[in-house]
Amino acid sequence: MDTYRELSIGIPKEYESIRATAHRFAKEVMRPAAIELDRMADPQDVIAPNSPLRQVMKKAYGLGYHVAGIPVALGGLGLDPLGSHILHEELAWGSVDLSIAIGVAGFPAMIAGLSGNPDLYETIMKPFIEDREAKFIGCWAITEPNHGSDQLMVGTPEFHDPKVKGEVVARTEGDSYVISGQKAAWVSNGTIATHAALYLRIESGSPNAATGMSGGGVAVVPLNLPGVSKGKPLNKMGQRALNQGEIFFENVRIPRHYMVVNSDTYEQQTMATLTMANGGMSTAFTGLARAAYEVALDYSKERIQGGRPICEHQLVQKRLFEMFTKVEACRALSRAVTVYNSSSGAPSLQHAIAAKTFCTQASFEVANDALQIFGGNGLSKEYPIEKLFRDARASLIEDGTNEVLSLAGARHILAESDGHGHA
Ligand SMILES: Cc1cc2nc3c(=O)[nH]c(=O)nc-3n(C[C@H](O)[C@H](O)[C@H](O)COP(=O)(O)OP(=O)(O)OC[C@H]3O[C@@H](n4cnc5c(N)ncnc54)[C@H](O)[C@@H]3O)c2cc1C
């Protein structure tokens, strides 16, 4: 289906053409590439020099999709939050895994941009913005082998528990930081990334230093520095077009100003990043839910049982209508949260978490219902729904498990209702 109804009235004309271009790219380039990548038995082939992953990334950068929200004056596409939502829903409709690879690529540049430091602008932000060949690929390196949910419990007492400490550590040495430790195999773009937004613990002698996970820092780290090495690409169940893998740091030296966020602002900055990332996930999985709904709708018109297309059977109709309702609810919530959080001076983490948990759960349910509509064919790799189902399943864990995110979200609601900024 090439035109899915838009309920927002008065969308600027240019956004319709952005949507149309993105839809064509998603349909003709991203979706076939993601299916091909999904079927590769060895994830090493996914990242081969001329693989469909590399080609899609190159074309997406060529279209400026990696810098969609960056102002035109700086070299981006200059999309406002609504335009960005439209674009990213469309890309994820084509392939949620590849759309996440494109989205996460900008994390180090975004962190570098927080510093206002001219050297970081020249060496990190500018090359990323100007890149049209996917030579500069970023990652968000936060999860560690022994710290998954621990890293995302922002605003909760657990986050301040001195017994819970991250394992990638930076220590000061003159004008540098020296970093050692390991990030988990779950880092998206992990083995293809050229740069990391690295979440770590800063060793500090100060008695006032924040404790536990809250006492961290965020550094921008070029991954060609001496002492950096990578693991094998992760072999996983869904989103197989999204490369993931471990990154190891052994006495990696970075200039002091590459530590953009220190322990004073770490928790606040992690909240801001999680707010942005969870909002992005809600948009992406709106796209996936829509894709699953649409393939099931088409199939229900083709498949004949009992002498008529299955869409004429009432139970199938009821299922289709419930799926449609969930897609609309996902789009409305994810769009409202994206626009609010990107425009407001006080973005809301609990709303971003609500959008992420709701849209990923709904996309999983829609994909599950779609698979049921396909009957036995739904389980076959010949049909697209089997991949969408696996991709949606991963989202209930990605960027924080929905359970743990809900706990953090509840803390924020309670704190706000007590009149405090956060718990
Ligand atoms: C597709 C995908 C992409 C990802 N991309 C990235 C990325 O780009 N960068 C990155 O760094 N990481 C990434 N991750 C990692 C992701 O953020 C973690 O998997 C997630 O935070 C959960 O951590 P964990 O897997 O270690 O599970 P654990 O934290 O070990 O949790 C295991 C189980 O225990 C439950 N649990 C844990 N703690 C609590 C608690 N305090 N209270 C109640 N229940 C609890 C969880 O809900 C879960 O069911 C990605 C993961 C996936 C699946």
Q: Check which CATH number belongs to the domain holding 36 and give it.
A: 1.10.540.10
Rounded CA-CA distance 94/84 in Å is: 16
Rounded Cα distance, 380 and 375, in Å: 10
CATH of the domain at 355: 1.20.140.10
Q: How far apart are CA 276 and CA 272, in angstroms?
A: 6
Is the sign of the CA dihedral 229, 231, 233, 238 positive or negative?
A: negative
Same domain, 221 and 286: no
Task: Supply the pLDDT for residue 10.
Answer: 81
Asked if residue 282 and residue 148 are part of one domain, the reply reads no
Ligand 1: residues with CB < 6 A are: 104, 140-143, 148-149, 152, 158, 186-188, 239, 394, 397-401, 403-404, 407
**Nearest-angstrom CA–CA distance, 165 and 45:** 36
Tell me which residue range forms the domain holding 116: 13-130
In a domain, 8, yes or no: no
Q: For residue 199, how far is its CA from the centre of ligand 1 (angstroms)?
A: 15
- Supply the CATH number for residue 257's domain: 2.40.110.10
pLDDT recorded at residue 419: 73
In a domain, 216, yes or no: yes
Tokens 């809250």 belong to which residue? 214
User: Do 311 and 403 belong to one domain?
Assistant: yes
Do 192 and 160 reside in the same domain of the chain?
A: yes
Query: Are 221 and 310 in the same domain?
Result: no
Same domain? For 274 and 406 the reply is yes
Residues 200, 279 within the same domain:
no
Q: Could you state, in chain order, the average pLDDT of each consecutive group of 10 residues for the chain (423 residues)?
A: 79 90 98 98 97 98 97 96 97 98 98 94 97 98 97 91 94 96 98 98 74 92 98 98 98 97 92 97 98 98 98 98 98 97 93 98 98 98 97 98 96 85 49
Listed residues 130, 150, 185: the one ending a domain: 130
Ligand 1 centroid to residue 400 C-alpha, Å: 5
Write down which residue in 206, 234, 265 finishes a domain.
Answer: 265
Q: 315 with 410, same domain?
A: yes
Residue identifier of the C-alpha nearest atom 34 of ligand 1: 149
Evaluate whether residue 212 is within a structural domain: yes
pLDDT of residue 423: 45
Among residues 102, 130, 158, which one ends one of the domains? 130
Q: Is 274 contained in some domain?
A: yes
Residue whose Cα lies nearest atom 40 of ligand 1: it is 404
Both 229 and 248 in a single domain? yes
- Structural domains of the chain, count: 3
Q: Is residue 18 part of a domain?
A: yes
Q: Which residue has the tokens 């949507």?
A: 19
